[in-house]
Amino acid sequence: MKLLVTGGAGFIGSNFIRHILSRRGYQVVNFDLLTYAGNLRNLAGLGAGDDYHFIRGDIASRQQVAGALDPGIDAIVHFAAESHVDRSILDASAFVRTNVLGTQNLLEAARRNGVSRFIHVSTDEVYGSLPGGGEFTEDSPLAPNSPYAASKAAADLLARAYHRTYGLGVVTTRCGNNYGPYQFPEKLIPLMVSNALDDEPLPLYGDGLYTRDWIHVLDHCRALEAILLKGREGAVYNIGAHGERTNLEVARRILGILGKSEDLISFVADRPAHDRRYAVDSSRLRLELGWSPRISFEEGLDETVRWYRDHPQWVDGVRSGDYRHYYRMVYGNRDRTLSSL
């Protein structure tokens, strides 16, 4: 099966490409713009001999997408996105361009070129914040709170409309928070690990009691493979591993694994419109496709923390230059940054 994977140089996309190429019978074209989040070092070691080919391009460019969509493509697995909530709060325009216009451009190209399957990788953040108990099902209303989540919800609706209107073979997935190797350290877990390794403060927003539903990236990739092969066209599948933890619990556990003091934890100004809680019901995926997660949060976090500790060159490479600038903007004087919004 020949796949066009968009955003394959990012965190989940690169893990997905490594996973799928370890299975038999796949060829991958990785189409990625290489924004600040795209990093070909995430795919080091892969080459043409591995049924792998890279094209640098923008999903929002009609010409560039047309150039990548050769007639042999059987399916598109669409990861490419602006993915970080805090960046969307600073400036939403790139989010609308890539996540909304880029997705529409890709859907249109798929339809015109007769691509039979389109896996649209979305997020549980489109559902908004969960009060109290319960979990998001695929029927929960869309209530996005950040510009990032709103742009993803818009893309989900376009994907739905392309299925309903043109019969495009779209399947949409909504996963909880991923963690694992190759994640850009603007996200909670790699940020906390890399700061702790340098004995720098671990900035927790608000009271630190916000919860996220964590899943190891390889469990997400295995779910996507099952959905690619057997998911129902037009359906939405939630993906979750019952990994709910508060951010404070996560920070404490990272410090424990590294043998560092909890004094490094620093409570800072909250994120505007910060969703209090996410939790995902993935029984549709489990019952229909037989998927279940294999990696417990404790085991996965342990291994992930060790991965960052053991790959200092990768960490240093992504924390240079632009990252330092971003870090100063968001954390330099967090109260002032937020009050000036």
Which residues form the interface with ligand DAU (CB under 6 A)?
Answer: 83-85, 123-125, 176-177, 187-188, 191, 203-205, 210, 212, 247, 271, 278
Q: Among residues 9 and 264, whose Cβ is nearest to ligand NAD?
A: 9
Q: Is 32 in the site for ligand NAD (CB under 6 A)?
A: yes
- Beta carbon of residue 29, minimum distance to ligand NAD (angstroms, whole number): 12
319 sits in the region (left: phi over 0; alpha: psi -120 to 50; else beta) called: alpha
Name the E strands within 201-312: 202-205, 211-216, 236-239, 244-246, 265-268
Q: Is 121 in the site for ligand NAD (CB under 6 A)?
A: yes
Strands 236-239 and 170-175: parallel
Contact 1, 116 (CB under 8 A): no
| Angstrom distance (rounded) from CA 239 to CA 292 | 9
Q: How many residues are there in the chain?
A: 341
Contact 103, 155 (CB under 8 A): yes
Q: Among residues 37 and 264, whose Cβ is nearest to ligand NAD?
A: 37
- Beta carbon of residue 232, minimum distance to ligand NAD (angstroms, whole number): 20
Q: Is 12 in the site for ligand NAD (CB under 6 A)?
A: yes
117 binds, among ligand NAD, ligand DAU, none (CB under 5 to 8 A by kind): none
CA-CA-CA-CA torsion sign (311, 314, 317, 322): negative
Name the E strands within 79-129: 117-123
* Residue 32 is a catalytic residue: no
Q: Which of residues 122-141 bind ligand NAD (CB under 6 A)?
A: 123
Interface with ligand NAD (CB under 6 A), residue total 30
12 binds, among ligand NAD, ligand DAU, none (CB under 5 to 8 A by kind): ligand NAD
For residue 15, give Cα distances in angstroms to 18, 33, 42: 5, 17, 8
Three-state DSSP state, 221:
helix
Q: 58, 124, 219, 275: which one is catalytic?
A: 124
* Residue 124 is a catalytic residue: yes
| Angstrom distance (rounded) from CA 167 to CA 320 | 45
Contact 152, 126 (CB under 8 A): yes
- Beta carbon of residue 3, minimum distance to ligand NAD (angstroms, whole number): 15
Structure tokens at 282: 């993935």
Which DSSP state fits 182? T
- Beta carbon of residue 203, minimum distance to ligand NAD (angstroms, whole number): 19
- Beta carbon of residue 61, minimum distance to ligand NAD (angstroms, whole number): 8
Q: Among residues 80 and 107, whose Cβ is nearest to ligand NAD?
A: 80
Contact 118, 6 (CB under 8 A): no
Q: Which of residues 155-194 bind ligand NAD (CB under 6 A)?
A: 175, 177-178, 184
Q: 26, 148, 179, 210: which one is catalytic?
A: 148
Q: Is 208 in the site for ligand NAD (CB under 6 A)?
A: no
Contact 50, 23 (CB under 8 A): no
* Residue 278 is a catalytic residue: no
Q: Is 139 exposed, middle or buried (0-12, 13-18, 19+ CB in 10 A)?
A: exposed
Q: Is 223 in the site for ligand NAD (CB under 6 A)?
A: no
Q: Among residues 85 and 258, whose Cβ is nearest to ligand NAD?
A: 85
Q: Is 59 in the site for ligand NAD (CB under 6 A)?
A: yes
Which DSSP state fits 76? E
- Beta carbon of residue 152, minimum distance to ligand DAU (angstroms, whole number): 7
Contacting residue, 19, 27, 35, 157, with ligand NAD by CB under 6 A: 35
Catalytic residues: 124-125, 148
List contacts with ligand NAD (CB under 6 A): 6-7, 9-13, 32-35, 37-38, 58-60, 79-83, 98, 102, 121, 123, 152, 175, 177-178, 184
